[in-house]
Amino acid sequence: MLTAFVSDIHSNLEALSAVLHDIDEHKPDRIICLGDIVNYGPNPAECLRIARRFDLALLGNHEEAVLGQPYGFNPVAAEAAKWTREALKPTLTSGGCKRANWDFMHSLPLRHTEDGLLLVHASPRAPTTEYLLPFDIDPLFGSEKLEQCFQLVDKACFVGHTHIPGVFYESMRFQYPHEVNYELPLPRDEKIIVNIGSVGQPRDRDPRASYVLYDGSTVMWRRIPYEKHITYAKILKTALPPWCAKRLMKGE
């Protein structure tokens, strides 16, 4: 079974459309989203309508923030969440699509497991909030966090959240996709945690959208260019913080 994993779409319709076009060419059996469909970008409703057709979508911290409160968010993220909530929250006179989007966010599960695979938005320990970053492998920064995460993993775990694609090994190594030529056979002798990267707001200084194809034995990262200048212009026409647009251009 071939699965397309997407994550951190962040209301970026142009990036999502480009990724879905690439996904269609590979004809996967299913599409799974690891959360953060909304916030930061100008098209939250449109991205939610598309995500409702995926085979599975999980809850991200930005769905939590839009549905509730942006606890722990920086000022830019909190301001964007407020704008997104106002754009999405249904009223007594709202149509069915708006209510369906809101109900869909409320229905998103925290995690999914199958065949030794754990799927969460952020980390096995804290499914929507914990950041797993490349420097976490260094004992100076406390590799205990990763060790505890791996205790909750059977074979492999797929995450998003940091917008930085790569793979953590149980032996406390980290590799970026380019270091494995964007293709990684699952190790037989140790567990891994795979970050699939971000569709709508990459932060690894590569502005191309990132997603993963997985056939049950091999992880394949895909980097897809999209018309980011269109998303940039759309954001600047809204009350979203301008930084949400500027960071798209450099992937930071």
pLDDT of residue 91: 86
pLDDT score for 75: 96
Span 128-161, pLDDT tens digits? 999 999 999 987 766 789 999 999 999 999 999 9
pLDDT tens-digit readout, 84-103: 999 999 987 777 899 999 99
SS3 string, the chain, reads: CCEEEECCCCCCHHHHHHHHHHHHHHCCCEEEECCCCCCCCCCHHHHHHHHCCCCEECCCHHHHHHHCCCCCCCHHHHHHHHHHHHHHCCCCCCCHHHHHHHHHHHHCCCEEEECCEEEECCCCCCCCCCCCCHHHHCHHHCCHHHHHHHHCCCCEEEECCCCCCEEEECCCEEECHHHHCCEEECCCCCCEEEECCCCCCCCCCCCCEEEEEECCCEEEEEEECCCHHHHHHHHHCCCCCCHHHHHHHHCC
List of domains in the chain: 3-250 (3.60.21.10)
Give this prediction's pTM.
Answer: 0.96
Low-confidence stretches of the chain (pLDDT < 70) are: 141-142
**pLDDT for position 71:** 86
